[in-house]
Amino acid sequence: DFRALLQSLYATFKEFKMHEQIENEYIIGLLQQRSQTIYNVHSDNKLSEMLSLFEKGLKNIKNEYEQLNYAKQLKERLEAFTRDFLPHMKEEEEVFQPMLMEYFTYEELKDIKKKVIAQHCSQKDTAELLRGLSLWNHAEERQKFFKYSVDEKSDKEVSEHSTGITHLPPEVMLSIFSYLNPQ
């Protein structure tokens, strides 16, 4: 069901947005206190635009023709988001993680992790966080189904070089969602 896919994507991107806000407040903020080289380099990554796109789809899709047009737009925007997001993830791994190791002790990093997890839990119940992870799996399954239904309705072939969000390496997905894990 197309609407369920949009709801799953919306919930997943809300988690991304919440994670980014917490990361900015706790991690980037602490790095700024310890190092003068950090500026506001960790801003939004088009998450707000994607959330608006999902809201638009949930509110405005009335018939199959609108759904098909929206689906094409959604596919393009998800692919563009993924292309933009991968460098962001690389920056986190190559720049911010080493800086954390340089400027904070192991005990301080453990405390930061506890605060980040507590903030996630205060914004949502643990059950909702786990449901968000479950929604991601459902979204992947639905995206596969949706991709085939859109392809059948359109005459265009899908480029073999496209990089959808489901093509992220497992280690990147684990890294992203490790911040949502309530453990």
CATH number, domain at 35?
A: 1.20.120.520
Number of structural domains the chain divides into: 1
Q: What is the mean pLDDT of residues 22-39?
A: 80
Is residue 126 situated within a structural domain?
yes
pLDDT given at position 162: 47
The C-alpha atoms of residue 159 and residue 76 are separated, in whole angstroms, by: 12
* Per-residue model confidence as pLDDT tens digits over 55-80: 999 898 888 888 889 999 999 999 99
Is residue 22 situated within a structural domain?
yes
Is residue 103 situated within a structural domain?
yes
Is residue 102 situated within a structural domain?
yes
Question: Whole domain around residue 70: which residue ranges?
Answer: 2-178
Which pairs from 17-21 meet CB under 8 Å and 24+ separation? Answer: 17/47, 17/48, 17/51, 18/120, 18/123, 18/124, 19/120, 19/176, 19/179, 19/180, 20/44, 20/45, 20/47
Is residue 183 situated within a structural domain?
no
Residues 36, 70: contact at Cβ < 8 Å?
A: no
SS (H, E, C) 49-72: HHHHHHHHHHHHCCCHHHHHHHHH
Question: Quick one: which H or E segment has residue 80?
Answer: helix 64-91
| Dihedral sign (CA 35, 37, 40, 44) | negative
pLDDT given at position 181: 46
pTM of the model: 0.59
Question: Quick one: which H or E segment has residue 6?
Answer: helix 2-22
- Cα angle 72, 76, 77 (rounded to 5 degrees) comes to 115
Is residue 152 situated within a structural domain?
yes
Question: Residue 5 pLDDT more than 80?
Answer: yes
Is residue 80 situated within a structural domain?
yes
Is residue 18 situated within a structural domain?
yes
